[in-house]
């Protein structure tokens, strides 16, 4: 078996791109800054890449939990020969849990961060729910570039946990690094593409309805990957 399964890499790429493109908070703030502060495209891309890197690196804190768990499970050699391997079964199980949690999160309609631009050009962040009538928020924070960076660092991407579990269970340091680098590159590239499109005024940059369901979609992708590894020999 290769150091990292190709289907796992494809899952990481799919999740990173969909997660980024479906969340306006990953690119709209940078477009607003570029217009209101008259940033050149190079500076806009620079801040986008920096925040994207902070977003992924903070995700590694959660991902390391998967690494530790996977590395510990790899010691149980008596159960590593089951169909699909313990790593494949664990990936499938974690994917199912993440899918269920994502569906609950979408149905429960929990508050999430939202960016709003006021007439004076200032941008604020506050929490709201989907399909909720607009009410002027009582608690809001004025967003600056460095505040935006902190927001991205404080908002990790949970799907890295089950994804990193698999190469860790195989005790593959190269696999872990490959997965992290792939996830990072495609997250930042997607952010930059969406920001550049908005920078040049493409009207396709609008909030999309899939944002609410992204945790469930990510869980479904991880589950599908686990099913393939366990039952189809991917």
Question: Is residue 212 included in any domain, yes or no?
Answer: yes
Question: Is residue 130 included in any domain, yes or no?
Answer: no
> Does residue 221 surpass a pLDDT of 70?
yes
First-to-last alpha carbon distance for the chain, in angstroms, is 10
Question: Is residue 141 included in any domain, yes or no?
Answer: no
Q: Which range among 58-72, 126-140, 218-232 has the greatest average pLDDT?
A: 218-232
Q: Can you say how many angstroms the Cα of residue 152 is from the centroid of all Cα atoms in its chain?
A: 11
Where residue 203 falls among pLDDT bands split at 50, 70, 90?
Answer: low
Question: Is residue 159 included in any domain, yes or no?
Answer: yes
Question: Is residue 147 included in any domain, yes or no?
Answer: no
> Does residue 133 surpass a pLDDT of 60?
no
Question: Is residue 1 included in any domain, yes or no?
Answer: no
The pLDDT tens digits for 71-116 are: 776 665 544 454 446 777 777 888 888 888 888 877 876 666 667 7
Question: Is residue 127 included in any domain, yes or no?
Answer: no
pLDDT (0 to 100) of residue 73: 67
The pLDDT tens digits for 36-71 are: 888 999 999 999 999 999 988 888 887 787 777 777
CA 211 – CA 189 distance, rounded (Å): 19
Report which secondary-structure segment, H or E, holds 128.
Answer: strand 123-128
Contact 191, 112 (CB under 8 A): no
* Angle, alpha carbons 96-75-81 (nearest 5°): 65
Helix (H, G, I), strand (E, B) or coil at 158: coil
State how many domains the chain has.
1
* Domain encompassing residue 207: 6-110+153-231
Question: Is residue 124 included in any domain, yes or no?
Answer: no
- Please give the mean pLDDT across all residues of the chain: 77
- Whose tokens are 């495209």? That residue is 41
């Amino acid at each position: 078996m290769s150091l990292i399964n190709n289907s796992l890499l494809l899952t990481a790429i799919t999740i990173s791109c969909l997660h980024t493109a479906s969340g306006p908070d990953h690119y709209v703030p940078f477009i607003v800054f570029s217009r209101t502060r008259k940033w050149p495209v190079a500076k806009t891309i620079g801040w986008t890449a920096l925040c994207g890197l902070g977003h992924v690196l903070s995700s590694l804190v959660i991902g390391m939990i998967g690494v530790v768990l996977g590395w510990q499970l790899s010691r149980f050699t008596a159960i590593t020969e089951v169909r699909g391997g313990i790593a494949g079964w664990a990936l499938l199980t974690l994917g199912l849990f993440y899918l269920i949690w994502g569906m609950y999160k979408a149905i429960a309609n929990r508050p999430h961060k939202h960016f709003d631009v006021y007439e004076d050009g200032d941008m604020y962040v506050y929490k709201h729910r989907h399909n909720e009538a607009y009410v002027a928020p009582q608690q809001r924070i004025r967003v600056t570039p460095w505040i935006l960076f902190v927001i991205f660092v404080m908002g990790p991407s949970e799907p890295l946990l089950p994804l990193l579990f698999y190469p860790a269970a195989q005790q593959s340091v190269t696999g872990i690094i490959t997965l992290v680098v792939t996830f990072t590159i495609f997250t930042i590239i997607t952010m930059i593409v969406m920001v550049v499109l908005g920078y040049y005024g493409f009207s396709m940059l609008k909030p999309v309805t899939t944002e609410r369901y992204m945790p469930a979609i990510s869980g479904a992708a991880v589950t599908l990957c686990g099913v393939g590894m366990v039952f189809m020999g991917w």
